[in-house]
Amino acid sequence: MILVLNGPNLRRLGTREPDVYGAETFDDLAALCRDTGRELGHHVEVRQTDDESELVGWLHEAADGRIPVVLNPAAFTHYSYALRDAIAQRTAPLVEVHISNPAAREEFRHTSVVAGVATGTIAGFGLQSYVLALHAISEMNTTS
């Protein structure tokens, strides 16, 4: 199993700033992730929350279960040390993803407090960022 975890406002894909995030919906994202996982031979569970504590709880669940994670922390990327500390406890690969390229956006988005404890980061490829992350995790799981 691979968990695909999404932070605040991502359920609003398709209506939220389509010039930045595109016209595809959260349901489109979830289907893309599940289909990609199936093609790679993995069960993928996609979750979204606007609640920081719920996201931390899911990361603890992943650490306890040695479950790989694709994580779009959304706005929590830039300030959530609680999220960073939860990610630091990971026991399996965790890839940070972003639909847009934070480095090409507002200055406050240029810093990720979670990148230093993630396995890697993929950003700026739209929903394909998730596909790339799932491929990376799948590759890591077959070579480790």
Query: Annotated catalytic sites, by residue?
Result: 21, 98
Question: For residue 86, what is the domain's CATH number?
Answer: 3.40.50.9100
For residue 112, what pLDDT is reported? 86
d(CA 96, CA 117): 10
Tens-binned pLDDT, residue by residue, of the chain (144 aa): 999 999 998 988 778 666 666 678 999 999 999 999 999 999 999 999 999 999 999 999 999 999 999 999 998 998 899 999 999 999 999 999 999 877 656 676 657 899 999 999 999 999 999 999 999 999 997 644
Contact 123, 97 (CB under 8 A): yes
3 state DSSP class of 70: strand
Q: What pLDDT shows up at residue 144?
A: 46
Residue 100 marked in a binding site: yes
Q: In what order do the strands lie in the sheet with 94-98?
A: 44-48, 2-6, 69-72, 94-98, 120-123
94-98 and 69-72 strand pairing: parallel
- Output the pLDDT for position 20: 61
Is there a binding annotation on residue 101? Answer: no
| Residue that has been written with the tokens 């993928």 in this structure | 44
Q: What is the pLDDT of residue 107?
A: 78
Domain count, the chain: 1
Query: Is 9 within any annotated ligand binding site?
Result: no
* Segments forming the whole domain that contains residue 70: 2-143
- CA-to-CA separations, 107 to 18, 76, 103, 127, in angstroms, rounded: 20, 15, 8, 23
